[in-house]
Amino acid sequence: MLDNLFADRVEEMSNGELAEFMKLVGQGDVLSFAGGIPASEVFPYNGLKDLNDRLLNDLGAEVFQYCSTDGSDNLKEYIVGFLGERGINTSKKELLITTGSQQALDLISKIFINTGDNIIVEKPGYVGGIGAIKSYQANLIGIDLDKDGLCVNILEEKLDRIYAEGEQIKFIYLVPDYSNPSGSRLSLERRKKILELAERYDFYIIEDTPYSELNYFNERLPFIKEFDQDNRVIMLGSFSKFFIPGMRVGWVCIEEGMIDLLTKAKQNTDLASNTYGQELLALAGNSGLVDEQLKRVKPFYKARLLKMEESLQKFFPENTSWYQPEGGFFFWVRLPENIKSRDLFQVAIKNKLAFVTGNSFFPVYQDGNHYIRLSFSDTTPAEIEKGIALLAGIIIDY
């Protein structure tokens, strides 16, 4: 391998440790709290099977043709209605369909970031978002989170300092609802404050919303985009967590003037997202299957969340801490000072148990030394109880 020929950005792309862990997790009989994935057993298999026949009858061989780069008109029309019901007044001209919202993170990074540009991320923040941003050689600035999301006082101080020094930031990347990995939800007050800061200092907010529909206890808070009068918010959405991820369909809602630019970036990346999946999702949406699925998955995941909370309370030692999330897929647990999550993982995996170590979720690796992410979405309540008891035993033995 002539690795001396690789581009500099390859250095920034290494997510080696996570890939290494995931390989171990994928081995046979491991009980895994690692993957942030939906449970396949709750997918609307029968409903989609029926719609699939209908799709092939209605659209014929056209579903196997290339799609336009900006995405299926049918799907965009459905998303306009979906967002409209959620307080976002938009139109097809402001939508671009992407290959999962992960692609949107890449495209946005591609159009904004020059080497060394300042980008603000949550600390801890979504590993795939941090990865996409880092691969364009940005200067990542992490801002702490608590249960109510990003700490806006820290953000404001940081921004004041950055702009006083004559620097700027390009965007802030946020997962306001049931963040991955922390499970936190950004409070209403903080949503408004961040928007005010974006308007004051002229930067964009990337509002990534894959878990927003998965609110198990109370009403969803308004999206930041709902208050956005000045086109400061670029909103990302995805069918992956509340419906199905395998079709790889997400979307970007952005001011009309930027659609062309994003479309060009997407064209250079994959020409278009898959036609078949987009049309199937449009049909699923229009025939009520998406709404039906939302009603089904919320109690399903809520039961798992409550089981994990109960098991943590029952088995985990006093010197660990966490807060109960109100939605999404994750618990974020702080370990005792003497235990590094990496070391704990090595013991856990020998006991056929997996989770994700906290390190990959921080711009500075060591900051995650004492945290683990436990996903409850893809394990049954019985497995949750068994796995948490086992993990607690390992922590206590340490």
> Strand 139-146 to strand 95-98: parallel, antiparallel, or no bridges (unpaired)?
unpaired
CB 100, min distance to ligand PMP, A: 2
Of the pair 249, 388, the CB lying nearest ligand PMP is at 249
Of the pair 99, 275, the CB lying nearest ligand PMP is at 99
CB 396, min distance to ligand PMP, A: 31
* Burial (0-12, 13-18, 19+ Cβ within 10 Å), 298: middle
Of the pair 128, 363, the CB lying nearest ligand PMP is at 128
Q: Which residue is nearest to ligand PMP (CB)?
A: 100
CA distance linking residue 328 with residue 81, whole number of Å: 23
The residue ranges that bind ligand PMP (CB under 6 A) are 36, 100-102, 126, 128, 175, 180, 208, 210, 238, 240, 245, 250
* Burial (0-12, 13-18, 19+ Cβ within 10 Å), 205: buried
Q: Which two tokens stand for residue 266?
A: 């997407």
CB 367, min distance to ligand PMP, A: 19
Of the pair 101, 357, the CB lying nearest ligand PMP is at 101
CB 48, min distance to ligand PMP, A: 17
CB 5, min distance to ligand PMP, A: 30
CB 194 within 8 A of CB 232: no
- Residue 379 one-letter amino acid: T
Of the pair 70, 106, the CB lying nearest ligand PMP is at 106
CB 245, min distance to ligand PMP, A: 5
Distances (CA, A) of 327 to 200, 238, 253, 301, 310: 31, 16, 23, 9, 16
Nearest to 190 by CA among 225, 164, 152: 152
> Strand 233-238 to strand 250-253: parallel, antiparallel, or no bridges (unpaired)?
antiparallel
Of the pair 36, 387, the CB lying nearest ligand PMP is at 36
